[in-house]
Structure 1
Amino acid sequence: MPPTLGALLRTPSLRLRLLTGQDRTHRQVEWVAVSELADPTPYLAGGELVLTTGVRWVDRLPDLRAYVGRLAERDIAGIGFGAAVNFEHTPEELVAAAEEFGVALVEVHRLTPFMAVGKEVSRLLAQEEYEGLNRAFAAQRALTRAALTGAPAVVDRLARELGGWVLLLSPDGAVRHAAPGSAAARAPGLADELARLRGAGPRASVSVASEGDRVSVQPLATSGRARGFLAVGGVRVSGSDDRTLVNAAVSLLSLELERPSPGPAAGVRSAVLTALLDGALDPAHPGAADLRAVLPAEPVVVAVGAAVPDGQRPEGVLVAGHEGRTVVLAAAATDAAVFGEVLAGPVGVSAAIGYPDLAAARSQAERALAAATEEGSDLQRYDQLPGGLLGLLDTPAGVRLADDLLSPIDQQRAAPELLASLRAYLAASGRWDTAAERLGVHRHTLRYRMRRIRELLPGDLDDPDHRTELWIALRVREGRH
């Protein structure tokens, strides 16, 4: 949520003084617009704090009533006038017009640069966005934890996070769970909308007015079939954080309804593994203690293959369908027989890795699967593969290739820091915050180092082929030590 005008007025360093619009301090300031135009409205979207010094008013005072009227029609947050620049005081005509049109008028002290006001709004916007991301992460983490105990817990947690009511409905509209319990009375009023949704397909959703409330209804669909519906009311789901939370609940509930037999945790564990493989979850995040509780302990391996029909989900492993494969995440010490309970041969298994290298492990498992398919073996482990670039770890050729590729960085005095930054950046798939956190540095420090690396390396770091070569070269280096 953008900062309010009142928040800016309460910032001592800005030295702002409210002249009119005492009842308008609750207005949100979407942005700061500095303009000396006689009519800046074509360049405004609404919600701005318009700052001016009146430089064009010195020779002849314009029709300030018309000026303020146009800004009022654009629904700005307020006007800020820079005092003691071109006018000793804010013109009385401007004050009167602001009073007439109900526009907040703020006098900006002569020692306060307009840039300082803009920077403060930017700072407050960035702070709000950061806090919103933290709230969203905590809420999704709580939702994932709730899913481990079943669908009712997901519904209860979602209602608590949104501050409204939530219904989990069966395909025929019967109430499976309501939070709070009194919300079950809302179900009959949604019958017509559910009928329309059934005919519209599994991707459709609807927002309707029911009993004076705005209700959002979404199908819980997997494999092209609706297995139930989720209805949310009593709150306006408008912010991106709220929508993300509702979408997360829909995904978790859909997975659980698709696979009820292995137990309530199976669906969410599959969702967790999918999110890990896509880079959407970071187990290293300080707030991810609940996530780490459901993951195999490092080191881990990734296995890929075809799913066993109606196969069981052994304890201690995560299983998910991902990009046309069935993927298994397990502790490195897991017996090969466990993979046979989930995957039909041939099966490819990666080398033992940590969670930061999960993407690389998936690629290793795919290469091992290709080798197993070609050789007709039931299971092939990547670290037992002959040849390949990573198979050159202990050979002079592999070392020479890696040294040639990384030599521009090696020649720098800060080579250790640059190489560590490059590895963290590649391991995090280019996510600045994740990589900086693993290094223990500020993300701006990492950005500076990566900019330097881009200048040193001859290839394009945005080219997937070049990134892969760099990753392999770094792995070759690690094999030497």
Structure 2
Amino acid sequence: MAPTLRTVVRRLPLRLGVLAGHDGLDRPVSWVAVSELEDPTPFLEGGELVLTTGMRLDAGNAAPYVARLVGKGVTGLGLGVGLGHETVPAELVAAAARAGLPLVEVPRDTPFVAISKLVSDLIAAEQYDEISRAFAAQGRLTRAALRPEGPRAVIDRLARELGGWAVLLDESGAVRHATGRGASRVAALRPELERLRKAPGGGAPASLSLSTPGEYVIVQPLGARRVRGFFAVGLERPFTPVAHTVVNAAGSLLTLAVEHGREHLAAERRVRSAVLGLLLAGQARAGVEALERLGDGLPDGPLTVLCAAGDAEAVLEAAGSEFAAPLDGRTVVVVAGDRAEETAAALAEHGPVGIGAPVALDDLRAGLDQADRALAAARRASAGVMRFADLAGQGLLALIDPEASAAFATALLAPLREYGSRADLLESLRAYLACNGHWDAAAQQLGVHRHTLRYRMRRVAELLGRDLDDPAARAELWVALAVAG
């Protein structure tokens, strides 16, 4: 922040005297401008202390001169006496008093350059102090980031550094951690979060600032390549340059934590996928040893395998501390038998789930096959959770993929359907198989002579190229007829 005019005039070596506008001495001085022009305002920005010897000032133009300076927003006017004027003109003092413009008398032996150097030194000192405070705050934020709670500690430290509230959000806008009034402000920020989320350009969007009569808010997205979360900080006063620096430092630390955490999580998932491969390949001891070296492990006793569809990131997060790994388009979760239902309910929030029957560690492959079949059934039925045990209770056909079985039945029975458009071959075969190959019983069910049935079965065997005395052939034909309906 720039030094105030009061700070400048109090410096004893300058021996400046205030003649008017005492109430404006706390205005900041952005710079010192020396000008003898009758109208210097085209060369000013506002906030300057204007110094002049008053060579072009007289009783007639003092008031317009002051009015122009006030209109430009200068901080004050200093008149050097002993050259153009032995004393400050009374008209100038009166005009400055009416306008509320601080008017300073500069003695003849006080060089204007001394005032300029003083203001320059004060501004430099203030800037150095701001930089020092910003560096100190960055150091405290960095130490907070190294604490076990990481991002949460950064949010707490940020709020304390700025004297306001702060909140950390995930990429969906849900609150992960908040201080002060942060949690209560999230609802009002959601439209802005959507704007940041949909920002054009493909990369991580820039931050945005909001202000209301009693609050100033900065919202920043987190993530190097895409949005992986947000944080927001709010104050009851405008953000200073130091505050902006502190906010940006916090954003960098939080982004680093988010990206580093994701890389660590991705590496952990790759290891778990490799361990799952060992377990499914029958190398249980090697898989368990690998997990133990990571400080992880599998539950004791019978295990249940769950297969979950849906977004892998969401499913893995829902799995919590259970052993989970992505595998070929689905997520595999291995839990203790008594944890299966509770875990499946959490996973089902993100898509269908299949539950296998309890198995030993060495039979994990069988458990995965069961869970896969249950998942396929859950997808077909648009169900949240499907259990393999329930499928087994529905008979063998419940375990067979409908599309694959329908294609199999159509191809196998096609010669019978195409033979002279005679449906009696299909019905005769169905009755023959239903009566377990007993001619008299099947013929009686069809209402034909048993010799007629024998002829038809020989024709069926010829058309299909199958031996009807072979139990395997009979089983295939029975399944095909059951699927065909």
Residue 246 of structure 2 corresponds to 245
Alignment pair present for 1:219 and 2:221:
yes
Which AA in structure 2 matches 1:126? A
Residue 257 of structure 2 corresponds to 256
Aligned-partner Cα distance in 2 for 1:134–1:263: 34
Please, which runs of 5 or more residues in structure 2 have no aligned partner?
Answer: 266-292, 295-485
Aligned-partner Cα distance in 2 for 1:210–1:184: 18
Contact 2:96 2:103 in 1 (8 A): yes
Aligned-partner Cα distance in 2 for 1:78–1:55: 18
Aligned-partner Cα distance in 1 for 2:244–2:173: 23
Offset from partner CA, 1:136-177 (integer Å, 9 cap, x none): 111111111110010111111111111211110111111111
Offset from partner CA, 1:235-275 (integer Å, 9 cap, x none): 556433322221121111112112327889xxxxxxxxxxx
Offset from partner CA, 1:1-48 (integer Å, 9 cap, x none): 111000011111110111111110111111111111111111111111
Residue 156 of structure 2 corresponds to 156
Residue 112 of structure 2 corresponds to 114
Kindly state the Cα deviation for residue 91 of structure 1 after the two structures are TM-superposed.
Answer: 0.2
Residue 196 of structure 1 corresponds to 195
Partner of 1:56, secondary structure, is coil
Partner of 2:85, secondary structure, is coil
Aligned-partner Cα distance in 1 for 2:261–2:213: 34
Residue 179 of structure 2 corresponds to 179
Aligned-partner Cα distance in 2 for 1:38–1:246: 45
Aligned-partner Cα distance in 2 for 1:52–1:72: 15
Residue 86 of structure 1 corresponds to 84
Contact 1:237 1:243 in 2 (8 A): no
Contact 1:189 1:210 in 2 (8 A): no
Kindly state the Cα deviation for residue 228 of structure 1 after the two structures are TM-superposed.
Answer: 0.7
Partner of 1:7, secondary structure, is helix
Contact 1:167 1:175 in 2 (8 A): yes
Correspondence list, 1:49-448, <5 A: 49-57=49-57, 61-149=59-147, 150-180=150-180, 182-200=181-199, 202-209=204-211, 212-222=214-224, 224-236=225-237, 238-260=239-261
Cα separation, partners in 2 of 1:22 and 1:191, compared to 1, 3 Å: same
Cα separation, partners in 2 of 1:152 and 1:237, compared to 1, 3 Å: farther
Cα separation, partners in 2 of 1:174 and 1:128, compared to 1, 3 Å: same
* TM-score (norm: length of structure 2): 0.51
Partner of 1:243, secondary structure, is helix
Cα separation, partners in 2 of 1:158 and 1:88, compared to 1, 3 Å: same
Residue 451 of structure 1 corresponds to none
Kindly state the Cα deviation for residue 225 of structure 1 after the two structures are TM-superposed.
Answer: 1.9
Contact 1:162 1:235 in 2 (8 A): no
Which AA in structure 2 matches 1:198? R
Which AA in structure 1 matches 2:7? A
Contact 2:59 2:92 in 1 (8 A): no
* TM-score (norm: length of structure 1): 0.52
Kindly state the Cα deviation for residue 111 of structure 1 after the two structures are TM-superposed.
Answer: 1.9
Offset from partner CA, 1:364-391 (integer Å, 9 cap, x none): xxxxxxxxxxxxxxxxxxxxxxxxxxxx
Aligned-partner Cα distance in 2 for 1:206–1:92: 51
Aligned-partner Cα distance in 1 for 2:209–2:112: 43
Contact 1:147 1:252 in 2 (8 A): yes
Contact 2:70 2:101 in 1 (8 A): yes
Aligned-partner Cα distance in 2 for 1:23–1:215: 32
Structure with the greater alpha carbon radius of gyration:
2
Aligned-partner Cα distance in 2 for 1:237–1:141: 23
Contact 2:216 2:239 in 1 (8 A): no
Which AA in structure 2 matches 1:113? P
